[in-house]
């Protein structure tokens, strides 16, 4: 980080950050724009894009680069993991606790010191599963 160029807090940036932090659905830039616009009607999509880039460069948010889809943004910066639906593209956070185990194994097996990680699991979300197989999940007794 360039100390000569301190991170500037602007109203727009603050609102973008707030909107991202209070959602868990990993919105695209367009979706962020739609939300921010309700509070700042004059903001442009370009401004939202630019600020999202700056915020992710500063490490205040995360950018999720998913090949073949629009970038998504995440207000959570602590290491955590995602599961993505291959059908509708929705992304959810995975519960923590699984990964320290993997990191430990990697260290044992490769001698790497792991400093950060990204992990994405891909599958079908409950909604899409229902559509694929209407009998599955239709059972009201199902509960895990
Ligand atoms: Zn889905
Ligand atoms: Zn996330």
**Chain center to CA of 41:** 25
Beta bridge partners of 124: none
Reduced to 3 states (helix: H, G, I; strand: E, B; else coil), residue 93 is: strand
- Residue 99 to residue 85: CA distance in whole angstroms: 20
Residues with CB under 5 A from ligand 1 (ion): 85, 87-88, 125, 128
CA 60 to ligand 1 centroid distance, Å: 28
State the average pLDDT over residues 19-43: 95
- The string of pLDDT tens digits covering residues 58-102 is 999 999 887 778 899 999 988 788 899 999 988 999 877 777 788
CA 112 to ligand 1 centroid distance, Å: 35
Higher-pLDDT residue of 22 and 98 is 22
Whether the per-residue pLDDT at 29 is higher than 50: the answer is yes
Calculate ∠ Cα 32-97-123, nearest 5°. 55
Instruction: Please report which confidence band the pLDDT of residue 6 belongs to, taking 50, 70 and 90 as the band edges.
Output: low
Residue 3 has what pLDDT? 47
Looking up tokens 């059908």 gives 87
Residue 134 has what pLDDT? 67
Q: Which tokens is 111 given?
A: 């001698």
Q: Which of 55, 106, 27, 144 is nearest to 36 (CA)?
A: 27
CA 74 to ligand 2 centroid distance, Å: 5
Residues of the chain with pLDDT > 90, as a percent, come to 51
Contacts of 93 (CB under 8 A, 6+ apart): 24, 76, 80, 81, 82
Beta bridge partners of 94: 81
- The string of pLDDT tens digits covering residues 117-142 is 777 889 999 999 999 876 655 555 54
Reduced to 3 states (helix: H, G, I; strand: E, B; else coil), residue 123 is: strand
Residue 79 has what pLDDT? 78
State the average pLDDT over residues 38-50: 96
- Residue 26 to residue 76: CA distance in whole angstroms: 9
Residue 1 has what pLDDT? 45
């Amino acid at each position: 980080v360039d100390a000569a160029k301190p991170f500037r807090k602007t109203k727009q940036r603050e609102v973008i950050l707030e909107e991202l932090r209070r959602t868990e659905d990993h919105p695209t830039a367009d979706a962020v724009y739609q939300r921010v616009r309700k509070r700042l009607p004059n903001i442009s999509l370009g401004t939202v894009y630019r600020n999202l880039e700056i915020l992710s460069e500063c490490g205040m948010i995360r950018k999720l680069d998913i090949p073949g889809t629009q970038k998504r943004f995440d207000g959570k910066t602590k290491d955590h993991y995602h599961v993505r639906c291959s059908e509708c593209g929705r992304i959810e956070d995975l519960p923590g606790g699984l990964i320290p185990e993997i990191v430990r194994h990697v260290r044992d097996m490769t001698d790497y010191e792991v400093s950060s990680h990204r992990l994405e699991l891909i599958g079908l979300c409950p909604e899409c599963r229902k559509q694929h197989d209407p009998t599955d999940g239709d059972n009201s007794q199902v509960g895990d």
